[in-house]
Amino acid sequence: MEAVEPKMLKFRGREYPCCASLTMGIIGGKWKTVILFYLMNEKLRYNELRKLMPTVTERTLSLQLKALEEDGLIKRKVYTSKPPLKVEYSLTDFGKTLIPLIQSIADWGDLVVEKYT
């Protein structure tokens, strides 16, 4: 039997060997899913996110927000009409397509705490 060559998936200039790899490449890591979870139901400012995730460093949070924005999952809106500068983060329509997945991940975490600890 001849080996089948895997079909590489492309997204925003990057290649992934499978659909699961693509998904984890976009939302994987320690903080991206947490950020998306907190943005599922409301817009949040940077400092509000920092308070919700007290163990993340400022640098890491900034980098993760930038990566999520570059992948089109969140939008960053800057209000400059009056000082101080106000920046809000929210899910894009594309980011909202992840809500069922993020909710399933959160529900599984609740199940683990409830039944397996």
pLDDT in tens, the chain (117 residues): 666 667 889 998 999 999 999 999 999 989 999 999 999 999 999 999 999 999 999 999 999 999 999 999 999 999 888 878 889 999 999 999 999 999 999 999 999 999 998
Alpha-carbon distance of 80 to 70, in angstroms, equals 22
Give me the residues paired with residue 20 across strands. Answer: none
Quote the pLDDT of residue 85. Answer: 84
- Residue 81: CB atoms within 10 A of its CB come to 6
At residue 28, the pLDDT reads 93
Provide the pLDDT for residue 117: 84
Token couple for 49: 């996110």
- Enter the pTM of the model: 0.89
The pLDDT of residue 1: 63
Q: Which two tokens stand for residue 46?
A: 């940077």
36 burial level (CB within 10 Å; 0-12, 13-18, 19+): buried
Rounded to an integer, what distance in angstroms lies between the CA atom of residue 85 and that of residue 56? 22
- Model pLDDT, residue 84: 80
